[in-house]
Amino acid sequence: MQPVALKPGIYWVGGIDWNLRYFHGYQTPRGTSYNAYLIVDEKIALVDTVKHYLFDEMLERISAVVDPAHIDYVVVNHVEMDHSGSVPNLMEVIPQAKIITSTKGKKGLERHYKREWDYVIVNSGEDIKLGSRTLKFVQTPMVHWPDSMVTYIPEEMLLLPNDAFGQHIASTERFDDELGWDIVKEEAAKYYANIVLPYGKQVMKALEVVDQLPIDMIAPSHGLIWRSYIKKLLQVYPKWAGNETERKALIVYDTMWGSTKEIALALANGLEDAGVPVTTRFLQTSHMSEIMSDVLESRAVLVGSSTLNNGMLPTVSGFLTYMKGLRPQKRIGLAFGSYGWGGQGAREVEEVLKSIQWEIPTDKINIQYIPDKDELLAVREKGKKLGKLILE
């Protein structure tokens, strides 16, 4: 339970959630951390807290640096309970401390915890001097809640952006280079795809602000602290925010008796014939939150379902509902499936893909019972044509 120094007088004092495997619809096989940061100056500030059940862990880390009773300010960058959940317990220990937050942050805290606390409301561009260091605040509404803001310490070139740039990783390592770009980028992409993706426009605005700040460290509220890969991170984030994709295809499907699977494989062959890399995901074995990482970087997403009870399969419906909420844009879509007599499965898939304004260059593929050899050849040809379009 040791704190970790980021800079002289600035410490990570968060909590590590080794056992977390599910985060409101998002599977987190690597667990996560909730990062809180202690700044010790003439005044002492704690930026963000941890989920309620890790309060003791955070308090122990703080106590290894200072007597928690001496904390002057608690900055709440974001009200969601994985970061504000320990505020009530903490304020029992430090009732004299002031909570620094946005107007919406205050409203959110009041609705969540129904307590009377002493607040300092800050707006974008305002700052609070701690002594030799300054806390500057920038509102980042809808990245990813209305209350979201980031804290910046100019003297240290340190950005504390809360959820932005986060990753769900539980680890003893605290810095990006200790774990390596591949793992940290993979989890940052998954985090973006499952949490931040709907708010691309707002992320772009926030990135414009970040671009103007001298930064040599970005310490988010989940996962690893960025110090070595900031340049790479700031190259991929605008791409994700702008819905810029790779010339790749993703096939997502579920199947009752294997016919929809055969169509999926024929499409994959056709796409490969055209020279397009294809990822194929079976909804009985891949979780939708894993698949969202593929959606993030794929130009085309082909979705297949058998018809069951006059509709699509529940797994496909669940995936499409989840994906629709995350609002990926600028993709090419194709619906496909097999059916016995109604044929509504592929039709419903196509309706969803149209409703999210994806480009649908070819009509759905809907084959009765079991596709024959000629039908599969035609499907493969369709896949090849689509592949050529992806490469344009």
- Closest distance between ligand FEO and the C-beta of residue 220, in Å? 9
From candidates 48, 82, 348, 350, binder to ligand FEO by CB under 6 A: 82
**Which letter does DSSP use for residue 20 in this model?**
-
Residue 221 interacts with ligand FEO (CB under 6 A): yes or no: yes
- Closest distance between ligand FEO and the C-beta of residue 387, in Å? 38
Candidate list 41, 48, 57, 82, residue with the active-site label: 82
Extended strands (E) in 305-364: 307-308, 311-312, 332-339
Mutual angle of helices 259-273 and 373-391, in 10-degree steps: 40
By CB under 6 A, which span of 4-12, 77-85, 118-126, 330-338 interacts with ligand FEO?
A: 77-85
Distance CA 138, CA 157 (A): 15
Catalytic site residue 273?
no
Candidate list 80, 176, 187, 254, residue with the active-site label: 80
Site for ligand FEO in 222-251 (CB under 6 A): 222
Mapped onto helix, strand or coil, the DSSP state of residue 251 is strand
Nearer to ligand FEO by Cβ, of 17 and 82: the residue is 82
β-pairing, 127-129 vs 134-139, is antiparallel
φ, ψ at 38 (rounded to 5°): -105, 125
Site for ligand FEO in 119-158 (CB under 6 A): 144
From candidates 30, 51, 61, 78, binder to ligand FEO by CB under 6 A: 78
Residue 163 interacts with ligand FEO (CB under 6 A): yes or no: yes
Candidate list 11, 73, 78, 192, residue with the active-site label: 78
CA distances from 230 to 12, 195, 224 (A): 18, 20, 12
Q: Is the preceding peptide bond at 144 cis, omega within 30 degrees of 0?
A: yes
By CB under 6 A, which span of 80-88, 210-218, 342-350, 357-365 interacts with ligand FEO?
A: 80-88
Nearest to 302 by CA among 265, 339, 274: 265
Mapped onto helix, strand or coil, the DSSP state of residue 281 is strand
By CB under 6 A, which span of 75-83, 101-109, 225-233, 350-358 interacts with ligand FEO?
A: 75-83
- Closest distance between ligand FEO and the C-beta of residue 168, in Å? 9
Nearer to ligand FEO by Cβ, of 221 and 293: the residue is 221
From candidates 51, 83, 133, 382, binder to ligand FEO by CB under 6 A: 83
For residue 161, what are its two tokens?
């952006």
Give first-to-last CA distance, the chain, whole Å: 54
Distance CA 274, CA 272 (A): 5
Site for ligand FEO in 267-296 (CB under 6 A): none
Residue 17 interacts with ligand FEO (CB under 6 A): yes or no: no
Nearest to 249 by CA among 121, 388, 147: 388
Catalytic site residue 112?
no
Nearer to ligand FEO by Cβ, of 146 and 318: the residue is 146
Nearest to 167 by CA among 142, 184, 148: 184
Candidate list 163, 187, 254, 348, residue with the active-site label: 163
Catalytic site residue 83?
no
Residue 350 interacts with ligand FEO (CB under 6 A): yes or no: no
For residue 224, what are its two tokens?
């690893």
For residue 51, what are its two tokens?
């989920």
Catalytic site residue 168?
no
Q: How many residues bind ligand FEO (CB under 6 A)?
A: 8
The catalytic residue positions are 24, 78, 80, 82, 144, 163, 191, 222
Chain residues in the site for ligand FEO (CB under 6 A): 78, 80, 82-83, 144, 163, 221-222
